[in-house]
Amino acid sequence: MKKNIVKILAAGAVLFMAASCDMDLVPEGSFVYDPENIITNQNDLDGFEAGVVAQFRGIFGGVFDEPQDIMVDYFNAVSDYGNNYGGVHRSGGDLDASNYDTRDNWRYPFLAMKNFNIVINGAKTVPDGLQDAAAIARGEAFVARAYAYLHMIRLFAKPYGANAATDLGLPLVLEYDQNARPARASVKEIYDQIKADLDSAAVLLKGVKGEPRAQKPTIDLVDALYARYYLDTKDYAKAAASAHKIIDSGTYKLAATAEEMEAEFVNDNGTEAIMQFFGNLQEGGYMSHTFYAPMQKDSDKGLYYRPYFVPTKTLLDSYEATDLRLACWYSDGKYPVFVNGNYYETELTVFKRFSGNPALRTDDVPNTRQMIKPILLSEMYLIAAEAELSSNAAAAKTDLNALQAARGASQTEATAETVQKEWYRETVGLGLRMPCLKRWGLGFNGRPGQPQAVAKEIIVLQANFADKVMNANDSRFVWPVPTHEIQVNRNLVQNDGYTSVEVE
């Protein structure tokens, strides 16, 4: 029988591979994966590399960052939110192993990693003349795999700590094997693999210099991910050093005026993005945040907001009047807000950090489409300040104050409280709040609503909404392994506090 080599990402294909259960539908022996002969020419290599970047881009935005922030103390559900993200927002008994939003954060990164693995292993052997380009493609795949594992371990496992060697992490999948049914490796083993992948990427991408809005992974993106890794694993000296490689390079600059904030966060043309994936109106590639501040247009009212979640009073009160983020990321009453059949002119403030790039629409209605930015310079200042707290208070204060000054906030001493508060204000909407609370060993005590939103019942006031409390040890801070995954792979063990319901 003639051997058919599976070229999964050839010609820049962007399609996800079928889940492992679907692979059983393909007769055994019909396809042969031969990593030593999968890349035979320049077109193959170009296609595989494009596929890696596209797959990497596909695990950002929307469901990959909204649930983490909607789960905690940033937002209130409006009265007609339609149960969107309802399970994670309530985080009660109905946040179970069948939840779609948590499931997608498991499923799609693993589907993407399958393709990263094919390039990591397949691009080791290429025809003469392609070795240098293949090394870059492998470096990009190592970065993407490290990011995918770091994203997932923060959601589906306990934070890195004294029991990391025994706490359940994720299945460790480093090669494409449709028949594998791996058990969950420990938290430490997953973080060790993240480090190993970043080490490999650092070698392979050493000569790929960073620049603002780079469209592919660079050595600066590697260093930024190192900073996240070291912060999670509590190697604070290396976390600060990695963050400062970005800060001290002089390559990137914090937005410090209203015009610079608009360039960065509206027009996607700023100086903070360590990477910004390619995207345009014709081909897509952007992300949409449709639950915070989407706009519609009425012939009588004109433009108006139609949110599903609005900022809590706590979030709005965390900013001073002079803070550029308050002015640029939150509505000012210029447009009404439509909720449950009523227009509210001034009663409600919405979160409009992702209002939409005008270049990504065809009319005058903002549509929340923005270019995808994996990591921003501002996070490097926050990581550095947090990492320096225990050993170099002066350095922590310098880094904290640099971010505060740029954003128009009062400069404070660097304490755990002030650094955590700056994380809260700066990273809203980026999906980092839940991982931060887990890292700090903190919960939250309620989501007090905006006064008029409470008085007029614009937000949901039932139990587990505005009054939601989550203690630091709440089992819902560790998301469930999806039921379907456990049914397919009986070697997987469910997280504490959840059951996997059998389905046909």
263 class by beta-carbon count within 10 Å (0-12 exposed, 13-18 middle, 19+ buried): middle
pLDDT of residue 89: 98
- For the cut 80, the answer to whether the pLDDT of residue 500 exceeds it is no
The tens digit of pLDDT for each residue in 259-277 reads: 999 999 999 999 999 999 9
Domains plus CATH for the chain?
1-206+473-504 (1.25.40.390)
- For the cut 70, the answer to whether the pLDDT of residue 16 exceeds it is no
pLDDT of residue 34: 77
Q: pLDDT tier at 502 (50, 70, 90 boundaries)?
A: low
Amino acid at 421: K
261's tokens: 């904030």
CA 354, 359, 360, 363 torsion: positive or negative? Answer: positive
Q: What is the pTM of this model?
A: 0.93
Q: pLDDT tier at 37 (50, 70, 90 boundaries)?
A: confident
CA dist 28 and 284 (Å) reads: 36
| C-beta contacts of 330-336 below 8 A and 24+ residues apart | 331/293, 331/305, 335/295, 335/302, 335/303, 335/304, 335/305, 336/301, 336/304, 336/305
78's tokens: 């409006």
The tens digit of pLDDT for each residue in 392-406 reads: 999 999 999 999 999
Q: pLDDT tier at 501 (50, 70, 90 boundaries)?
A: low
Q: What is the mean pLDDT of the chain?
A: 93
pLDDT of residue 23: 37
Do residues 471 and 161 touch, judged by C-beta distance below 8 A?
Answer: no
- For the cut 70, the answer to whether the pLDDT of residue 30 exceeds it is no
pLDDT of residue 178: 83
The tens digit of pLDDT for each residue in 97-147 reads: 999 999 999 999 999 999 999 999 999 999 999 999 999 999 999 999 999
Q: Give the other-Cβ count within 10 Å of 489's Cβ.
A: 17
The percentage of the chain sitting over the pLDDT mark of 90, rounded to a whole number, equals 89
